[in-house]
Structure 1
């Protein structure tokens, strides 16, 4: 079952934290998260799963930044979220998708107990100018049945910003 927007609002400060929280971003069954002004791109044209790939940081100016097709951009949400006893999920807003922008390649599924900013895996099908603080995606919550363990991965938990892939750590 997915939580309603009213239930999300009711649980803020308990098993759901969204910081900063703004009730204007609440939907009937989700909450809109905004795009931070930071972006990260990989420097090499060929990435290697076994290695820590080099990245560069960019800042999205208020006047906008043009995304180019065929390039992966890592972004992050303005909001930090924490969830206990629920499974957080992330999807792009339909208005964003209708512009040919994807906000995640495969990482829309969160873990119970996740605490941090969401890293967005952004790509576009045609050139698109983006702006900071736009409501880019929505978080929604599923109930979790049965006993469970809480997400404790040292890779991405309690992050302070954009997280490039740390898959190379799995090869050690």
Structure 2
């Protein structure tokens, strides 16, 4: 079950959902319109799942930053979101899709109990200028069923994330992290 905009607002007021900063005007019928943060990591060279990703980090200036095809950008949400009660689903929307921007296609699920600023995978079809704080997608909240299981209590490798995170698959490959 997906929460409606009014249900999200009520859950924020009740302390069941955290959205920081929260702006009621960003609520839509079934989602919250999240924004692009001001930092990008630009992944360099060939990527290897067995080693940490090499990147350069940059701040998106107020007059924008041009994303180019063929480059993997890791961004971050402006908002920090989470809930012990609800799972989250984050995705881009038609406003950025119409610009040829693909965002967060591979990992849209935010587990209950994980309050984060989301790491965003960003790719573009054509050069496009983006700006810090621009609307970049929709966040929906989903009612969970079954026994409670907070992400923070699972020992998962991203449980302490709160910003841009590179892939940590290398930890599993090197035998340092959890195994599926």
Instruction: Tell me, yes or no, whether TM beats 0.5.
Output: yes
Distance 1:84 1:146 in 2: 13
Contiguous gaps of at least 5 residues in structure 2:
176-180
Size of the aligned set, in residue pairs, is: 171
CA RMSD in angstroms, aligned pairs only: 1.3
Deviation at 1:55, TM superposition (A): 1.5
Q: Partner of 2:178 in structure 1?
A: none
Distance 2:48 2:43 in 1: 11
Check whether the contact 2:91–2:108 (CA below 8 A) recurs between aligned residues.
Answer: yes
Distance 1:154 1:54 in 2: 23
**Cα distance, 1:160–1:87 mapped onto 2, change above 3 Å:** closer
Deviation at 1:24, TM superposition (A): 1.1
- Structure 1 window deviating more from structure 2 (159-168 vs 88-97): it is 159-168
What TM-score results when the alignment is normalised by the length of structure 2? 0.90
SS in 1 for 2:109: coil
Q: Partner of 1:147 in structure 2?
A: 147
Check whether the contact 1:115–1:158 (CA below 8 A) recurs between aligned residues.
Answer: no
Within a 5 Å distance, the mapping from 1:92-171 to structure 2 comes to 92-152=92-152, 153-171=155-173
Runs of 4+ in 1 over 2 A off after TM superposition: 152-160
Q: Deviations over 1:38-85 (max 9, x none)?
A: 000122x21111111222101111111110011110000111111112
